[in-house]
Amino acid sequence: MEARAITRQVRVSPRKVRIVVDLVRGQSVEKALEILRYSSKAVSSQVEKTVASAMHNLAGQFEHPVEPSEMKIKEIFVDEGRTMYRIRPRAQGRAFRIRKRSSNITVIVDYKGELDNQ
């Protein structure tokens, strides 16, 4: 059984978010939240919220309480979101384009308890 959570339009470039996402890929949810809590990267709080949301989405599907240590991050990936374009004035009347990038973070969490052993 699995659940997902998606955070859209995070105002950080996908390249920077992928550095944080690579730290927790394939980990248990409990360990991933621990890693993200103590990470020095600014975007780690957004990734942590997304992982926690996926964890709660999965826990809501069961009638009995499920521990975060029984859940595993099955998939986590970052896609490019919308890019805002701004203009920076330059010398002699020219204008350079500024690209403000955003990211979409997707987390899929799987239950690795006794149901998988059957």
Residues 88, 78: Cα–Cα separation, whole Å: 28
Q: What is the pLDDT of residues 57-106, one digit of tens each?
A: 999 998 888 898 999 999 999 999 999 999 999 999 999 999 999 999 99
Global pTM? 0.89
- Contact between residue 67 and residue 30 where contact means Cβ atoms under 8 Å apart: yes
pLDDT tens digits for 34-65?
A: 999 999 999 999 999 999 999 999 999 988 88
65 contacts 59 by C-beta, under 8 angstroms: yes
Q: How far is CA 2 from CA 38, 54, 63, 87, in A?
A: 26, 9, 15, 43
What is the DSSP track for 26-57?
T-BHHHHHHHHHT---TTHHHHHHHHHHHHHH
- Confirm if 109 and 6 have CB atoms less than 8 A apart: no
Q: Is 108 helix (H, G, I), strand (E, B) or coil?
A: strand
Domains of the chain and CATH, by start = 2-111 (3.90.470.10)
